[in-house]
A and B are shown apart, each in its own frame.
Chain A
Amino acid sequence: MTGITTHATDRANRPDLLSPRELAALGGLELVARQVVEGFLAGLHRSPHRGFSVEFAEHRAYQPGDDLRYVDWRMYGRSDRYYIKQFEEETNLRAYLLLDASASMAWSSRPGELPTKLWYAKQLAMSLALLLLRQGDSVGMIGFDESIRTHVAPRGGRRYWHELLRAIGPVEATGRTEAATALRDIAGRLQRRGLVVLFSDLLVDPETTSLALKFLRHRGHEVLVFHLLDPGERELPGVSDARFVDPETGEELPVSVADLRREYHEAVERAIAEWRESLAAQGIDYVVIGTDQPMVHALRAYLNKRERLG
């Protein structure tokens, strides 16, 4: 994978900064993911390529903030100028993209205006897959609800991205979410340690799910959790009294919204905090992504994670 450094910061050239609605207008899954990644990479100031198995690629002028470790002192001795060495990097990271395909992922609080959580998860997953593949990592994908629905074994190579596209495209949101079961199943299938990225709305049992994620951590995986939240899930809808129906179970709950609005908001925030706290305790990165936010936030979270991985 070749690292491309540009200074273009024009928002028009940064699809990763576009809102999901604007992204949806760009085209299909492949085009959107590609443009997001291209735009994201164009906005990077520093090369993300570090680590072992380094093969020199070229020099570039030093810029303040560059790591002094990569200053080519020989070139400085000859030319009395600072140059930074850039390398072509080969990695052996296996990334597993776990996509929650339960029925709750197909919900949007504002249909036509906001994408579903599943759509957002697909876009984000394919963008990450593209990034990973460009870095020479192996990427696999697993779609699950109560059980594993789709399984694509991790492989490397840019062509493989299209196979991932073909596999993730038909994934539909059906069934109930049993993340704990699926994660345990997945943990059994992952033979080599790698990066596990979970895209889910986390409308699951926190304890069992946390336990399953903890199990993955015990198997040596790095885990990154993208908690996808629709803005309508942070606040109750603007109705007075309603019977709220769970799309997964069909359960109804009559609620006086006026009586519970503030309490609900607090409950959501408290749940997020609990997730963050419990996952952080296990070394699991936890990122809350709203479906109305640009994808750059998620990608940056990935990069931060990737940098820590070295």
Chain B
Amino acid sequence: MMGFASPALLLIGISVAVPLILHLLQRQQGPRVVFPALRYLRRAEKENARRIKLRQILLMALRMAALVLLALAAARPFVRSGGAGHEPTAVAIVLDNSLSTGVIHGERRLFDELQERALETLAQARPEDRFWLIRAGAPWEPATPGTAEEIAEQVRRTNVTAGESDLGAALTRARSLLAAGAEGRRTEIHLLTDLQGTAFRGATEPGAGAPPVVVWAPKGQAPENAAITAVEVGGGLPPRAGERATVSAFVTGSRGGDTIPVRLAIADRIVGAASAPSGSAVLLPFPARSPGVISGWVELDPDALRGDDRRYFVTRVQPPPAVALGERVPFVDEALDETEDLPVAALGDDAEEFEIEFLAHQAEDLAHVGGGYPALPREGEDLVQERERIAHPALGAAGDGDQGVVVDFDPLAVEDLAQTFDDARQGDATEVETLAAREDRRSGLLDLLRLGGREDEDHPRGRLLQDLEERIPRLAGQHVRLVDDVDLEAVRIRRGVHRALAEVARVVYAPVGCGIDLDDIERGPPGPDALTRLAHAARLAVGCTVGAVQRHGEDPGGGGLPHPARAAKEVGVRDPAARHGTLQGLGDVLLECDLAKAARPVEPGEGGAGHRRPCASCDTRASFSGQVNPWPRPVQADRPAGPIPVPWR
């Protein structure tokens, strides 16, 4: 079967009409020459009319034939002979399966056409031929020689990827493969691509004797396409809980209108929309969220290339900074007095009570150490800001011992023994939800003092559903959603490693086939029980009914809310109970809480760790509501220990 490599050039054949037109018109044109011997001329024409006419027709036919041949030559005809007409050939097929080849031309993807061309080439193969397939848009993978059938199967399994192609490197690699594996065959490189300009950034000039490259590229104008090339949440800083932020999306490409509409979706909900001209960035409002990992996307209206119309992101909403007061300061009293005078309307309708919490660093324990305890910890110390939490060793550091004095020591490990029973009684971990003033921003002073209003987050049902959701693996597009806010940080299992973020990291939305901007992925540290970071320095405070967290695996919140029913498959990292008993007491050493620390600058390592040193004996935390309060507070001397109930007015 005959075909043409450039069939459009067959249009040159239209020019065959030119000789015909000239033949018809030439007698009407030409210069006017005065010539007296017209008699001879007429006679010559008359005597040779037939011959002259025949000669003119032949000349015209020759001219037309020459033009037809020229058109045929330009169209590069070829004859398909079913693969039986060529010598053994080694062909490296470079198949561009980058994201851009997913563009839809008409009603099909461009990549499907590239695939068909590759299969057509393979269909012409002879048994002596050898093929390689190089997927230019996929990560590097070994290209092994194969028969036409084997390579055709590889071609069929190829699909569009989310990456970009490097055709220069692919061609270089194809030349290398052919040079090494052709084994005397004639060599060819078949490049099937959409010829994106960015794909040739690394192209190099082939040397002499390089195999010929047969390029197949789509014809016609590329369809209009707009794309989101970058998404940034919060201008590079993770958004704070309860605070609004922005999401900037950079829009490029072209579309029919002057501006391109952009939408922001968080947790499968459209939360913002805007429009921007091509080549500019658009700011979308990022609503206030509770702490945790937030995933979402920014999208455009679908166009020919769907792959770049939506860009995903995952960010972590940071909890608000905590302010700890090491000792009583006058303005705290004033603030507390102020809260008593707060109007009812300012506290919201849903709130039932206030909970005043104090960060517990026992003032009395610290007082006899001398040197004064700073009212506000300096930056870098654990009370200023919650950072990544790692497990703190149960023992004090070597450098700590010489600075402290023994204030409490239990060599018989009586408390440990009691706690062992306590641990056995508590089968499951207690989910702890931070009680920070998340979205209640009605009073900055209340936030400062941790006077957060209790809202729905503490609702047991919501937490139950939330926990269920966390345990159902899901992919993007699966609508498993039982609660509104996903607070992955709060889901921690007693004795278990933190695995919530592990489910989020390296998220690939396979159905979409697109990468995701992981703006702020923080893997939860394999720390101890979540509550240990909140352990108070005071171990058994006045009025406290539960023991503070002293070590990993101990949950002082056991006296709190009943744990939601669920399968407790998570096995935490904890000390075996056998070694945690009485015998272990012989090996116990002084805990940090047994010592009174002298005032000294915070060690750099402490600030970097960003955790509170767990000390069950120093923790004093309770609440009148009966719930566990993760935010300890300092004990006030003139008030009874424990949370201070504030009557609801």
**Chain A contact residues, CB within 8 Å of chain B:** 103-104, 107, 201, 203, 233, 236-237, 239-249, 251-256, 259-260, 263-264, 266-268, 271
Out of B29, B36, B42, B56, which one reaches A259, CB within 8 Å?
B56
Out of A241, A246, A263, A271, which one reaches B35, CB within 8 Å?
A246
Complex-state Cα separation, A264 to B30, whole angstroms:
18
Specify which chain B residues have a CB less than 8 angstroms from the CB of A239 in the assembled complex.
Answer: 30-31, 33
Complex-state Cα separation, A259 to B32, whole angstroms:
17
12 CB < 8 A contacts A-B = A236-B41, A241-B30, A244-B35, A244-B41, A245-B34, A254-B26, A254-B30, A260-B41, A264-B41, A267-B40, A268-B37, A268-B40
Complex-state Cα separation, A239 to B56, whole angstroms:
17
Complex-state Cα separation, A267 to B44, whole angstroms:
5
Q: Counting CB contacts under 8 A, is B43 at the interface? A: yes
Complex-state Cα separation, A103 to B26, whole angstroms:
29
Those 3 A-B pairs whose CB atoms lie nearest each other, nearest first: A104-B36, A241-B30, A267-B44
Q: Flag if B41 contacts A255 (CB, 8 Å).
A: yes
Instruction: Give chain B interface residues in 7-37, CB to chain A under 8 Å.
Output: 26-37
Knowing A233-B36, A246-B36, A247-B36, the reply to whether A263 touches B47 (Cβ < 8 A) is yes
Q: Counting CB contacts under 8 A, is B73 at the interface? A: no
Q: Counting CB contacts under 8 A, is B179 at the interface? A: no
Specify which chain B residues have a CB less than 8 angstroms from the CB of A260 in the assembled complex.
Answer: 41, 44-45, 48, 52
Specify which chain B residues have a CB less than 8 angstroms from the CB of A249 in the assembled complex.
Answer: 38
Chain B nearest CB from A42 CB (Å) reads: 36
Q: Flag if A240 contacts B30 (CB, 8 Å).
A: yes
Specify which chain B residues have a CB less than 8 angstroms from the CB of A240 in the assembled complex.
Answer: 30
Chain B nearest CB from A310 CB (Å) reads: 37
The secondary structure that dominates the B interface is helix
Q: Flag if A242 contacts B31 (CB, 8 Å).
A: yes
Q: Flag if B26 contacts A242 (CB, 8 Å).
A: no
Complex-state Cα separation, A255 to B28, whole angstroms:
9
Complex-state Cα separation, A52 to B167, whole angstroms:
113
Complex-state Cα separation, A256 to B29, whole angstroms:
10
Q: Flag if A107 contacts B36 (CB, 8 Å).
A: yes
Chain A nearest CB from B37 CB (Å) reads: 4
Specify which chain A residues have a CB less than 8 angstroms from the CB of B34 in the assembled complex.
Answer: 107, 244-245, 247
Complex-state Cα separation, A243 to B34, whole angstroms:
8
Q: Flag if B31 contacts A266 (CB, 8 Å).
A: no
Q: A236-B41, A263-B52 are in contact. List 14 more A-B contacts (CB 8 A).
A: A104-B37, A233-B36, A239-B31, A242-B31, A242-B33, A245-B32, A245-B34, A246-B36, A253-B41, A254-B28, A255-B41, A260-B45, A263-B44, A264-B44
Complex-state Cα separation, A203 to B28, whole angstroms:
26
Q: Which one of B32, B40, B45, B47 has the greatest number of beta carbons of chain A within 10 Å?
A: B40
Knowing A104-B36, A253-B42, A267-B40, the reply to whether A243 touches B56 (Cβ < 8 A) is no
Specify which chain A residues have a CB less than 8 angstroms from the CB of B44 in the assembled complex.
Answer: 260, 263-264, 266-267
Q: Counting CB contacts under 8 A, is B459 at the interface? A: no
**Chain B contact residues, CB within 8 Å of chain A:** 26-45, 47-48, 52, 55-56
Q: Flag if A264 contacts B33 (CB, 8 Å).
A: no
Chain B nearest CB from A306 CB (Å) reads: 31
- The chain B residue with its CB closest to the CB of A272 is B40
The secondary structure that dominates the A interface is mixed
Q: Flag if B37 contacts A255 (CB, 8 Å).
A: no
Chain A nearest CB from B23 CB (Å) reads: 10
Q: Flag if A263 contacts B48 (CB, 8 Å).
A: yes
Q: Flag if B38 contacts A246 (CB, 8 Å).
A: yes
Complex-state Cα separation, A264 to B37, whole angstroms:
10
Specify which chain A residues have a CB less than 8 angstroms from the CB of B26 in the assembled complex.
Answer: 241, 254, 256
Q: Flag if B32 contacts A233 (CB, 8 Å).
A: no
Q: Which one of A203, A239, A246 has the greatest number of beta carbons of chain B within 10 Å?
A: A246
Q: Flag if A243 contacts B31 (CB, 8 Å).
A: yes
Complex-state Cα separation, A256 to B28, whole angstroms:
11
Chain B nearest CB from A175 CB (Å) reads: 13
Chain B nearest CB from A274 CB (Å) reads: 11
Out of A245, A247, A255, A271, which one reaches B43, CB within 8 Å?
A271
Q: Flag if A259 contacts B38 (CB, 8 Å).
A: no
Chain A nearest CB from B35 CB (Å) reads: 4
Q: Which one of A242, A244, A271 has the greatest number of beta carbons of chain B within 10 Å?
A: A244
Out of B33, B38, B52, which one reaches A237, CB within 8 Å?
B33
Specify which chain A residues have a CB less than 8 angstroms from the CB of B40 in the assembled complex.
Answer: 233, 264, 267-268, 271
- The chain B residue with its CB closest to the CB of A260 is B44
- The chain A residue with its CB closest to the CB of B22 is A241
Complex-state Cα separation, A245 to B38, whole angstroms:
7
Specify which chain A residues have a CB less than 8 angstroms from the CB of B38 in the assembled complex.
Answer: 244-246, 249, 251, 253
Specify which chain B residues have a CB less than 8 angstroms from the CB of A237 in the assembled complex.
Answer: 33, 35
Specify which chain A residues have a CB less than 8 angstroms from the CB of B45 in the assembled complex.
Answer: 253, 255, 260, 263
Specify which chain B residues have a CB less than 8 angstroms from the CB of A253 in the assembled complex.
Answer: 38, 41-42, 45
Q: Flag if A241 contacts B29 (CB, 8 Å).
A: yes
Complex-state Cα separation, A107 to B34, whole angstroms:
9
Q: Flag if B39 contacts A203 (CB, 8 Å).
A: yes
Complex-state Cα separation, A62 to B597, whole angstroms:
168
Specify which chain B residues have a CB less than 8 angstroms from the CB of A245 in the assembled complex.
Answer: 32-35, 38
Specify which chain B residues have a CB less than 8 angstroms from the CB of A246 in the assembled complex.
Answer: 35-36, 38
Specify which chain B residues have a CB less than 8 angstroms from the CB of A263 in the assembled complex.
Answer: 44-45, 47-48, 52
Chain B nearest CB from A218 CB (Å) reads: 26
Complex-state Cα separation, A254 to B28, whole angstroms:
7
Chain A nearest CB from B147 CB (Å) reads: 62
- The chain B residue with its CB closest to the CB of A251 is B38
Specify which chain A residues have a CB less than 8 angstroms from the CB of B27 in the assembled complex.
Answer: 241, 254, 256
Knowing A233-B40, A254-B27, A267-B47, the reply to whether A244 touches B52 (Cβ < 8 A) is no
- The chain B residue with its CB closest to the CB of A267 is B44
Q: Flag if B41 contacts A248 (CB, 8 Å).
A: no
Complex-state Cα separation, A268 to B40, whole angstroms:
6
Out of B32, B42, B48, B55, which one reaches A242, CB within 8 Å?
B32
Chain A nearest CB from B133 CB (Å) reads: 60
Specify which chain A residues have a CB less than 8 angstroms from the CB of B39 in the assembled complex.
Answer: 203
Complex-state Cα separation, A237 to B32, whole angstroms:
12
Complex-state Cα separation, A242 to B48, whole angstroms:
18
Chain B nearest CB from A209 CB (Å) reads: 12
Chain A nearest CB from B48 CB (Å) reads: 4
Specify which chain A residues have a CB less than 8 angstroms from the CB of B33 in the assembled complex.
Answer: 237, 239, 242-245
- The chain A residue with its CB closest to the CB of B51 is A263
Chain A nearest CB from B446 CB (Å) reads: 104
- The chain B residue with its CB closest to the CB of A117 is B36
Complex-state Cα separation, A259 to B23, whole angstroms:
12
Out of A203, A254, A264, A271, which one reaches B36, CB within 8 Å?
A203
Chain A nearest CB from B61 CB (Å) reads: 15
Specify which chain A residues have a CB less than 8 angstroms from the CB of B37 in the assembled complex.
Answer: 104, 203, 233, 268
Chain B nearest CB from A117 CB (Å) reads: 9
Complex-state Cα separation, A260 to B42, whole angstroms:
10
Complex-state Cα separation, A260 to B48, whole angstroms:
8
Chain A nearest CB from B102 CB (Å) reads: 60
Complex-state Cα separation, A103 to B34, whole angstroms:
11
Complex-state Cα separation, A248 to B34, whole angstroms:
10
Chain A nearest CB from B59 CB (Å) reads: 8
- The chain B residue with its CB closest to the CB of A177 is B36
- The chain A residue with its CB closest to the CB of B33 is A242
Specify which chain A residues have a CB less than 8 angstroms from the CB of B29 in the assembled complex.
Answer: 241
Specify which chain A residues have a CB less than 8 angstroms from the CB of B35 in the assembled complex.
Answer: 107, 237, 244-246
Chain B nearest CB from A135 CB (Å) reads: 34
Complex-state Cα separation, A246 to B47, whole angstroms:
19
Out of A104, A236, A256, which one reaches B56, CB within 8 Å?
A256
- The chain B residue with its CB closest to the CB of A259 is B52
Chain B nearest CB from A208 CB (Å) reads: 13
Complex-state Cα separation, A244 to B43, whole angstroms:
13
Out of B30, B43, B48, B52, which one reaches A243, CB within 8 Å?
B30
Complex-state Cα separation, A246 to B56, whole angstroms:
25
Knowing A244-B35, A246-B38, the reply to whether A267 touches B30 (Cβ < 8 A) is no
Complex-state Cα separation, A255 to B35, whole angstroms:
12
Specify which chain B residues have a CB less than 8 angstroms from the CB of A254 in the assembled complex.
Answer: 26-28, 30
